[in-house]
Structure 1
Amino acid sequence: MPRFLTMVRIDENNVPEEGFSPEMGQRMGALLEEITKAGVMLDTAGLTPTAQGTRVTWSGGKLSYTDGPFTETKEVIGGYSITQCKDMAEAVEWAKRFLQVHDENFTVTCEVRQIDED
């Protein structure tokens, strides 16, 4: 069965100051329990802010390093999940359900990609 990487994209500058509501936490917990019991979820986590990250770039035969935050970037990967689904349609359905548990004051995008296992 194919595996899928879902990258959760956020705009770090527009994350609600108050964070998520207790109700959203309950909805998220219920969804994570459901997807885990279904045997679909292999791994998931949120990521620390870009201010705590470093980019390593290879260009022109040289390495360069840039410490965060990355102000020129509007959207960053704020978390991920690795799922094992029967097909892309099922992986997208789980991503949709993940997005829908968020409070309305959040703007979140999921990019779902199949892991190349050839």
Structure 2
Amino acid sequence: MRFMILVRANDETEGGVLPTEEDIAAMTKFNEAMVDAGILLAGEGLHPSSNSARVRFSRGETTVIDGPFPTKEVIAGFWIIQVGSKEEAIEWAKRCPARPDEEIELEIRQIYDADDFGEALTPELRAAEERMIQRIAEQHG
């Protein structure tokens, strides 16, 4: 099972405050533990929402909205991990380093796999998906 662990933004991340050397070292150690366990598929931090935009589709209309956005609605980073259960994902998330003086909230969401779509994912659509995945791998190694 794949899970995305979303790091909720806070005033520091939205203010563009970069992590300290100690913060980076702690996060690197955490990331390396996930790599060593063979579960980390991806993980990145995101720029503040002041550098972002949203594209909204509503009743046939498309609107572009420039950031910043309310902190409670923003993601500051993420990991994608592959583990055996939600409980295992939670255990890894609990190991995320946090300074005693900061507040961090993580959200854990399971990523859909092809089998989750049942009959709606026809053999033709499944083949198209597999071709696309292969092309992405070839493009980005």
In the alignment, the residues of structure 2 paired with residue 65 and residue 55 of structure 1 have an alpha-carbon distance, to the nearest angstrom, of 6
Q: CA RMSD in A?
A: 1.7
Compute the TM-score of the two structures, normalised by the length of structure 2: 0.72
Counterpart among 88, 91, 107 of residue 90 in structure 1: 88
1:79 partner amino acid: G
- Residue 49 of structure 1: aligned partner: 48
Indicate whether 1:65 and 2:64 are aligned. Answer: yes
Moved over 4 A (4+): 16-19
Q: Which one has a bigger Cα radius of gyration?
A: 2
| Shift in CA distance, 44/9, structure 1 to aligned 2, threshold 3 Å | same
| Higher relative contact order (CA closer than 8 Å, sequence separation 6+) | 1
Contact 1:55 1:66 in 2 (8 A): yes
Higher helix share: 2
Higher strand share: 1
Indicate whether 1:37 and 2:36 are aligned. Answer: yes
TM superposition shift of 1:102: 1.5
Compute the TM-score of the two structures, normalised by the length of structure 1: 0.85
Identity across the alignment (%): 34
| Shift in CA distance, 19/27, structure 1 to aligned 2, threshold 3 Å | same
TM superposition shift of 1:31: 1.2
In the alignment, the residues of structure 2 paired with residue 62 and residue 21 of structure 1 have an alpha-carbon distance, to the nearest angstrom, of 43
Which secondary structure does the structure 2 equivalent of 1:15 belong to?
helix
Aligned length: 111
